[in-house]
Amino acid sequence: MNLEHELVRFVCHTAYDDPGPQVRTIIKNQLLTVLGTAIAGSTQAGCQTLLDFYLSQGGKAEATILIHGGRIPAQAAALVNGVMARALDFDDALAPGVHIGSSTVPAALAAAELRGGINGREFLTALLVGAEVGVRLNLTEAAYNGLDPTGVCTVFAATAAASRVLGLNMEETWNALALAFNRAGGSFQSNVDGSLAVRVIQGWVAESGVICARLARAGITGPKNFLGGVYGYYNVYGKGLVDPGNALADLGSRFDCERILFKKYPSCGLTLGSTELILSLMHEADGITLSADNVEKVEVKVPPYTYKLVGHPFEIGATPRVNAQFSIRYCVANALLRGSSKLAHFEEQAIRDPRLLELTRRVDVVVDQAMELRGHTPIDMTVRTKDGKSFFRRIDIAPGFPGNPLTAEEQQARFHDCIAYADKSIAKEKVEKIVESATHIEELSDVRALIPLLLQ
């Protein structure tokens, strides 16, 4: 198998009808999710700063900044919109930490404006191609070894989507993906330290998708052997831990984007299981109502990878929302104190609640190496009450992950939660039209019809 040829052939020649309706529904859910999180995240920390910066830079008015309005170069619009979509960390994801839609959707929308329009069937196919490329090129926890999977892997997804929207031929697409390989990067230290770089990396990936496609169309070349070469993706990043033949097997006849997850709660995917367990215990504990008042200690056992990313002691840094989103201790304490996990619970005022900070100190997170055998998201939780009672629950697949998917009603609820939370309100009739357009995106003659709906 020529890895690069197979990947490029898939990007260029996949047809709308190749996947089944279930796969297309997943991509429509991804689209609606990203539109909702962009609306809700549009005023979060760093977004206005980036908006002002790129508006001040000028340049050709090629694509639209969503929610706020204004037109800037296409790659810059993709960056700003990608940052807004990731800002609340409530977008779609993929174990072990890849975020795809918040880069592919902004890149594809910017490319659609740059092209002068594209119909909904082709746009949905471009998003599907991008998602599948991201899923197939996703590596393992061991291979990433602290690198940000979004920065390393999703850059190919965003480039594939933008290349397809712009109508690049096979040679141009090959070069676009090869250029994207040279843009891969990012570290999970951004997440651990709770910095705004987490969301900026998402924007950089969207920007790279557009710029790599544009440069390739202009004739800029990249390394032909960007996947299998001696210094290609699978050697430099895969480190021999991933079999590329297996990763790309049946590409085009089997679609693995069904592995994309949609979060039930607005925090890191690796915190979702612990939130689910404590909430279920609060409703199901035998003969007692668990609450912040009567819980003495919560012990959460996790695999090593989960601990490294979200198991550390909770501390408030420069970006409290990110600190909280990437903390099992905070997420458990929040659910225990407030009986739910909502976007508003990750605002700074809620995070700094003294009752909650005290409660985080009653949550211990410990490592259990053997739990790696149970998959990406296993959690064992023991809750001890002040009167000496003990309750135990475990989960192997967190809610929203493949094998434990959200219902259609839960998908709609996530979107409407985002709309209700947003500082910049969207008119009710526009909200209904956004849902209708995303649900039936293939019926649009030009996806640019979405843009006015996404402006305040």
DSSP 110-176: HHHHHHT---HHHHHHHHHHHHHHHHHH---HHHHTTB-HIIIIIHHHHHHHHHHHHT--HHHHHHH
Q: Which residues of 371-403 are buried (b: 16+ CB within 10 A; e: fewer)?
A: beebebbbbbbbbbbeeeeebebebbbbbbbee
User: Is residue 200 included in any domain, yes or no?
Assistant: yes
The pTM assigned to this predicted structure is 0.92
**Residue labelled with tokens 């979702």:** 272
DSSP 238-292: STT-S-HHHHTTTBTTB--GGG-B--SSSS-GGGHHHHHHHHHHHHH-TTS---T
Smallest Cα–Cα separation from 131: which of 257, 309, 11? 257
38 vs 64: CA distance, rounded Å? 13
In this prediction, residue 1 carries a pLDDT of 67
Q: Provide the residue range defining the domain that includes 222.
A: 3-262+405-453
Tokens at 220, concatenated: 């800029």
Tokens at 246, concatenated: 């297996």
Asked if residue 280 and residue 248 are part of one domain, the reply reads no
Residue 102 to residues 2, 35, 149, 200, 239: CA-CA distances in angstroms?
Answer: 30, 9, 13, 11, 27
User: Is residue 373 included in any domain, yes or no?
Assistant: yes
330 vs 26: CA distance, rounded Å? 30
The conformational region for residue 399 under phi > 0 = left, psi -120 to 50 = alpha, else beta, is beta
Residue 227 to residues 106, 153, 180, 214: CA-CA distances in angstroms?
Answer: 25, 12, 11, 21
pLDDT by residue for the chain (456 residues), tens digit each? 699 999 999 999 999 999 999 999 999 999 999 999 999 999 999 999 999 999 999 999 999 999 999 999 999 999 999 999 999 999 999 999 999 999 999 999 999 999 999 999 999 999 999 999 999 999 999 999 999 999 999 999 999 999 999 999 999 999 999 999 999 999 999 998 989 999 999 999 999 999 999 999 999 999 999 999 999 999 999 999 999 999 999 999 999 999 999 999 999 999 999 999 999 999 876 667 888 999 999 999 999 999 999 999 999 999 999 999 999 999 999 999 999 999 999 999 999 999 999 999 999 999 999 998 898 899 999 999 999 999 999 999 999 999 999 999 999 999 999 999 999 888 999 999 999 999 999 999 999 999 999 998
Tokens at 201, concatenated: 């990396």
380 vs 76: CA distance, rounded Å? 43
User: Is residue 372 included in any domain, yes or no?
Assistant: yes
In this prediction, residue 283 carries a pLDDT of 83
Asked if residue 127 and residue 174 are part of one domain, the reply reads yes
Asked if residue 387 and residue 433 are part of one domain, the reply reads no
Asked if residue 255 and residue 312 are part of one domain, the reply reads no
Domain final position from 395, 416, 431? 395
Phi–psi pair at 94, nearest 5 degrees = -155, 130
110 with 166: CB under 8 angstroms? no
- Per DSSP, the three-state class of 52 is helix
Q: Which residues of 122-137 are buried (b: 16+ CB within 10 A; e: fewer)?
A: bbbbbbbbbbbbbbbb
CATH of residue 242 = 1.10.4100.10
Asked if residue 132 and residue 63 are part of one domain, the reply reads yes
Please give the single-letter amino acid code of residue 62: E
309 with 268: CB under 8 angstroms? yes
Q: What is the 3-state secondary structure (H, E, C) of 148-165?
A: CHHHHHHHHHHHHHHHHH
**Residues 6+ positions from 116 with CB-CB distance below 8 Å:** none
Asked if residue 443 and residue 310 are part of one domain, the reply reads no
> What is the maximal distance between C-alpha atoms in the chain?
72
Asked if residue 292 and residue 153 are part of one domain, the reply reads no
**Residue labelled with tokens 């309706």:** 21
**Residue labelled with tokens 């009986």:** 339
Asked if residue 418 and residue 317 are part of one domain, the reply reads no
User: Is residue 278 included in any domain, yes or no?
Assistant: yes
DSSP 334-396: HHHHHSS--GGGGSHHHHT-HHHHHHHTTEEEEE-GGGGGG-SS-EEEEEEETTS-EEEEEES
User: Is residue 400 included in any domain, yes or no?
Assistant: no
Number of domains in the chain: 2
Asked if residue 308 and residue 291 are part of one domain, the reply reads yes
456 vs 430: CA distance, rounded Å? 9
- Residue ranges of alpha helices (H) inside 19-100 are 21-41, 47-57, 74-86
Helix (H) or strand (E) holding 302: strand 295-302
In this prediction, residue 334 carries a pLDDT of 98
Asked if residue 313 and residue 365 are part of one domain, the reply reads yes
Domain final position from 395, 416, 442? 395
CATH of residue 318 = 3.30.1330.120
Domain final position from 395, 415, 440? 395
User: Is residue 446 included in any domain, yes or no?
Assistant: yes
**Residues 6+ positions from 10 with CB-CB distance below 8 Å:** 129, 132, 133, 251, 252
Asked if residue 194 and residue 65 are part of one domain, the reply reads yes
User: Is residue 436 included in any domain, yes or no?
Assistant: yes
Asked if residue 322 and residue 238 are part of one domain, the reply reads no
User: Is residue 128 included in any domain, yes or no?
Assistant: yes
